[in-house]
Structure 1
């Protein structure tokens, strides 16, 4: 194979950032219409409750916020929220969901194309695992924080994905690096290891403070009896809430959540 042909083949195998045009309704239903989506959303609302119910009007960016489900509670509490996403179709759903809130701005844009701004709170939930260069995105997200501002970051946990597949005996999938040729579009292609993300932030943002670390769905996805995910949801939620920030369970959550605070002055 010539050098030019090798370069062409390599170019076709590079994964691109993922957006959800063409499957927006499926995306919305899959994320928020299942017990796994519901428990993830409720845990994030709990972790962010002090911000949602802040007496101060906050400037909030929901980066890659999709159909606006996380934007909604902030709008309901009167905060000024900017929602951006790269998919026009998911934003069509968001526009319907958020139509009554005049402090909400919806932008069709990739996150890194946003104009410079500074926010009290930047939300970036379930985005890192869909982009080709997550650490470059992290730099941009941190640049959007006001002094004293907070980044709320959640992402699909590669370590938990490996653990879960080992439990079910999917050894070929593990040996292929958790990748398959015909990957389902709603299956993240670039899951991240929590400790690597923490190490990256501590290396590049040494003066910033990690205020919170938690696993999301530390138990839900490992239940052998899947009926209990629905039939005993309330008990399961309380179990998740109780142990989500405790060692060793936080590292087993299918999603990992952290909050990074920029100092008032550097």
Structure 2
């Protein structure tokens, strides 16, 4: 996903431009820190106190110049209008958040509002058109059959959450003034790997295969996750 995001940023903004980045639901700050290290000014929004503590610990270990380029705000992403003015950001990330939001449209509209004209919106969502794959490949035939007709699923944390379908999100992005510019699949081959699986010796080859599949039909259409990139008109 980081490679995909870098590709979209490089194709949209001049080389060397320092961008204003908002990362909503930043988690432990993986993408936010990566972009701060690249020279961008990053604001991370996160609701979970444990994740915020982890992000702050990781940030504290960075050089002063990087620490100065990143700030952390506690919030759930639905109050962007309270914290930020319209057009405040060139890039807005919202990765792994929509599956926990029952009605995502207001959240997405708020994110579009704080984007500058020409800004990039990066979403990572659960692919509602591929929900049957994980249970099916695991031999859970009852779960696979049920998944064909639903966008609700139980994640690895044991929570009942929701998935999104590409056509519906494409319409939503057009409606909020940030139409879809590009989309990718994420975790095409590796979704069934256990969370505690050791990294393989051929990790770079694995990533190359995932990267190729994530941008190639028909493989990207059955990825566990979808990475959608919209551009603010």
TM-score strictly above 0.5: yes
Match of 1:192 in 2: 164
Query: Matches of 2:32 and 2:164 in 1, distance apart?
Result: 24
Runs of 4+ in 1 over 6 A off after TM superposition: none
Show the counterpart of 1:62: 23
Write the mapping of 1:49-128 to structure 2, written as runs, cut at 5 A: 50=10, 54-99=15-60, 100=64, 101-114=67-80, 115-117=83-85, 118-128=88-98
Structure 1 contact 81–104 (Cα < 8 Å) conserved: yes
* Cα distance in 1 for residues equivalent to 2:55 and 2:153: 31
Q: Distance in 1 between matches of 2:14 and 2:203?
A: 25
In the alignment, is the contact (CA less than 8 A) between 1:53 and 1:77 conserved in 2?
Answer: no
Say which is worse superposed, 80-89 or 42-51, in terms of deviation: 42-51
Structure 2 residue 206 is the aligned partner of structure 1 residue 240: no
Which of 96, 109, 121 pairs up with 1:151? 121
Q: CA deviation at 1:169?
A: 3.2
Query: What does residue 254 of structure 1 align with?
Result: 224
Q: How far apart are residue 195 of structure 1 and its match?
A: 2.4
The count of residues paired between Structure 1 and Structure 2 equals: 217
Aligned to 1:17: none
Deviations 1:77-125 (A, max 9, x none): 2211100111111101111111341121111111111323220000111
CA distance in 1, matches of 2:37, 2:114: 23
Aligned to 2:131: 161
CA distance in 1, matches of 2:69, 2:222: 37
Residue segments in structure 2 that go unaligned for 5+ positions in a row? none
Matched residues in 2 for 1:45 and 1:147: separation?
18
User: Which is helix-richer, 1 or 2?
Assistant: 1
Q: In the alignment, is the contact (CA less than 8 A) between 1:213 and 1:258 conserved in 2?
A: yes
The answer to whether the Cα contact below 8 Å between 1:220 and 1:229 also exists between their aligned partners in 2 is: no
Q: CA deviation at 1:136?
A: 2.1
Counterpart of 1:141 in 2: which secondary structure? Answer: helix
Deviation at 1:68, TM superposition (A): 0.7
Higher strand share: 2
Pairwise mapping of residues 213-224 of structure 1 onto structure 2 (< 5 A)? 213-221=183-191
